[in-house]
């Protein structure tokens, strides 16, 4: 019997907190804070790499949640830990010594939230249409958080608040949104064990109508890590690694790039990030409608290409003797519009291309993204110090282009799989 679910459910408000934390507070506050305190951009790369390395725990978090059924508990702990990470920096805002630990805590919590949140959707036995609707709604809350976070930071900067008060405001915002959404998490959490009970192997996987059944099956031997690389799912994960290298490497230095390369003020940078989040809302709505009528693979490919083109355009504008702020802003906004589209489609693709449970499949996707981010953030930090901040844009564009080319080769193999187009 088909479940009756709404596209938006109140528990998804927790993702507003994640959007504010990772797309605004992290992106806007950490790069200039660490650079100012340490005197170099490479330490910024270390902080972001520590966060990404911790996020590699995604598959294990998903596996533990699937086996224990403690999805809600792990999710809530992760959200409060996210708030605690910013509180840690607020305690000693004149010293960056806690910044690597901040990165590890934020990475683990973001990994748990980013793995379990989509699992509430892709692992609940929904139809493709229901899944697309919920993934779109869930994804929409992220840029809403980005807008809120960007405006909070811009207002604090214009008001002349110091670093510590802004970190405290960030922590309080995340904690408050978590408290508001906490009671509503019981509904999506209850759907998972109900669906698992209907599966012969007891995994959170896919239904026969195109939802997550985890089972466009490779042979069991392909579960082995080395053999995984030769599968369609393994190739997809490598595309994610390449794309994440460029996108997260660029993001890790964005709050330094915009002022240094193009001349934006700190408040102007914050407002531009908020505007990018506002535009993301429309992008996600359109992408969600398109994905429901088309396929997740098509949407994923489009977003990957847009990100690469946007980064390369940012690099070209950075070559101008006197960079035009409007062109730089447009290029950055285009890059940001490519970011939510792959994220919207990736969770459904991960489950559809993998033979593992939904929690593990989404966890592997998250881990692949984290691996790419570790490499990308470290390379971006080295390039920023040794070459220039604009070289980070070129690196992001090149990595994105490589991901797009590999994806073109992957599409025919993926389309041969059931429910993947």
pTM: 0.81
Give Cβ neighbours of residue 248 (< 8 Å, ≥ 6 apart).
48, 52, 369, 372, 373, 376, 377
pLDDT in tens, 220-260: 444 555 566 668 899 999 999 999 999 999 999 999 999 99
Residues 145-197 pLDDT 10s: 999 999 999 999 999 999 899 999 999 999 999 999 999 999 999 888 655 54
* pLDDT tens profile 117-139: 988 998 888 887 888 889 889 98
pLDDT (0 to 100) of residue 128: 77
Domains along the chain? Answer: 10-414 (1.20.1250.20)
pLDDT over 90 for what percent of the chain?
Answer: 57
Instruction: List pLDDT tens digits, range 11-51.
Output: 999 999 999 999 999 999 999 999 988 888 998 999 999 99
Q: Rounded CA gap, 78 and 85, in Å? A: 10
Is pLDDT at 213 greater than 70 in this prediction?
no
- Alpha carbon 79 to its chain's center: 15
For residue 420, name the pLDDT band (cuts at 50, 70, 90). low
């Amino acid at each position: 019997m088909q479940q009756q679910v709404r596209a938006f459910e109140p528990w998804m408000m927790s993702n507003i907190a994640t959007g504010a934390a990772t797309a605004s507070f992290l992106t806007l506050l950490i790069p200039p804070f660490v650079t100012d305190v340490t005197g170099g951009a490479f330490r910024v790369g270390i902080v972001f790499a520590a966060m990404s390395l911790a996020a590699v725990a995604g598959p294990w978090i998903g596996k533990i949640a699937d086996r224990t059924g403690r999805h809600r508990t792990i999710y809530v702990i992760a959200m409060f830990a996210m708030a605690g990470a910013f509180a840690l920096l607020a305690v000693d805002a004149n010293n960056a010594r806690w910044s690597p630990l901040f990165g590890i805590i934020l990475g683990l919590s973001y990994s748990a939230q980013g793995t379990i949140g989509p699992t509430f959707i892709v692992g609940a036995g929904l139809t493709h249409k229901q899944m697309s609707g919920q993934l779109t709604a869930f994804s929409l809350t992220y840029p809403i958080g980005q807008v809120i976070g960007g405006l909070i930071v811009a207002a604090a900067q214009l008001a002349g608040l110091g670093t510590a008060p802004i970190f405290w405001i960030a922590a309080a915002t995340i904690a408050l949104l978590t408290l508001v959404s906490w009671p509503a998490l019981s509904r999506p959490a209850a759907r998972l064990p109900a669906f698992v009970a209907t599966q012969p192997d007891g995994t959170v996987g896919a239904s026969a109508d195109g939802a997550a059944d985890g089972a466009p099956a490779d042979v069991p031997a392909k579960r082995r890590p080395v053999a995984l690389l030769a599968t369609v799912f393994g190739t997809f994960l490598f595309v994610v690694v390449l794309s994440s290298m460029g996108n997260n490497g660029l993001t890790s230095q964005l709050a330094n790039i915009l002022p240094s390369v193009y001349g934006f003020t700190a408040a102007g940078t914050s407002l531009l990030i908020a505007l990018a989040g506002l535009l993301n809302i429309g992008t996600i709505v359109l992408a969600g409608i398109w994905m429901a009528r088309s396929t997740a693979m098509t949407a994923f490919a489009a977003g990957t290409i847009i990100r690469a083109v946007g980064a390369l355009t940012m690099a070209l504008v950075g070559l101008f003797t006197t960079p035009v702020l409007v062109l730089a802003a447009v290029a950055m906004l285009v890059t940001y519009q490519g970011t939510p589209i792959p994220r919207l489609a990736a969770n459904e693709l991960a489950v559809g291309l993998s033979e593992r449970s939904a929690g593990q499949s989404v966890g592997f996707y998250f881990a692949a993204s984290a691996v790419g981010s570790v490499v990308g953030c470290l390379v971006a930090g080295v390039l920023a110090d040794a070459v220039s901040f604009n070289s980070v844009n070129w690196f992001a564009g090149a990595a994105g282009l490589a991901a797009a080319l590999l994806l073109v080769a992957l599409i025919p193999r993926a389309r041969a799989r059931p429910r993947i187009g």
